[in-house]
Structure 1
């Protein structure tokens, strides 16, 4: 997991895709909390945001602070003077993923997230995403399918591997091919054929 390491697009402040990455679902109204460390003074960190958006791709789970993103724009990447504008975690750095639907309160996804080198967080943390609109349970189901695919194919990112660097954006068609590259050793078409239940990639122009 990492803080403030998500590059944002200038036109709509959505995340810039990594190479071979497709965003599958976007929940516009969500809140976020992360508790990291063992609870002792000087060893614990706490991060919270009550107004943000959650994104899930075939590579990462992301949370973007709406207020900070609107204020800082695409220049927010790598800022050290902001405690939290974004959170990101590679899918294979997530474990103990659960979805809670309390009788009183907001539905939320919880998970344990491991830190990545140079990610700004030293210890593993307890992550929660609270969903203020429909889409949370769908995001959870897609995440579980992605995790299962990772275990089946052995497509793991080593824990020692640093955060992937962003490369200049390549030209993308206005209507991208609605396929999801879940297995990087196969074509996107093969991946969807193996699991037709997976959704097409999320597009910002797509109504949720």
Structure 2
């Protein structure tokens, strides 16, 4: 059976600021719902394993899909409360890896050696690498089979500087996602703020913002079925 590994954050705050953050819930469950529609199982992994904090902002305007998962005790108790550690995961079991966002990831995704090992094996096995919104910073430190940065000279999307400014969080984050993608050699593109924008470059699929999570999932399914 085809399986996909969903990567989520363990980080619950904006660095030293007394401001809560975590996973942006719709970014994982909108992706997961599309996988479920196509009979594809998912597992959740986080840098430390265990509890996955939710960004409070992601709970203020939930749609039917997000509510369905939020109300599902099995989802909460398994995926959110008992996410796998990287050491508990065999990357050979997965056809794709997906980095979900939320501002929390800015502190524990970039250049995470344990996550990179999983992602690199999945990529080297011909699998798909996907990410959305701030989750694209999980691509930093991933590699092509020849050792180059995975996103170097690849078309990518991710949370834009404009969107961060609209959030009024430009000075609260350790770095800007768009700038980090460009610095790593990514060929960055964006659409209007908070509109869906999905970019596919080979087996790399990226999305700009929460509105792009479903489209990223649909692109991943298309690649899996190719």
The structure number with the bigger radius of gyration is 1
TM-score by length of 2: 0.29
Higher relative contact order (CA 8 A, sep 6+): 1
Q: Which has the higher helix share?
A: 2
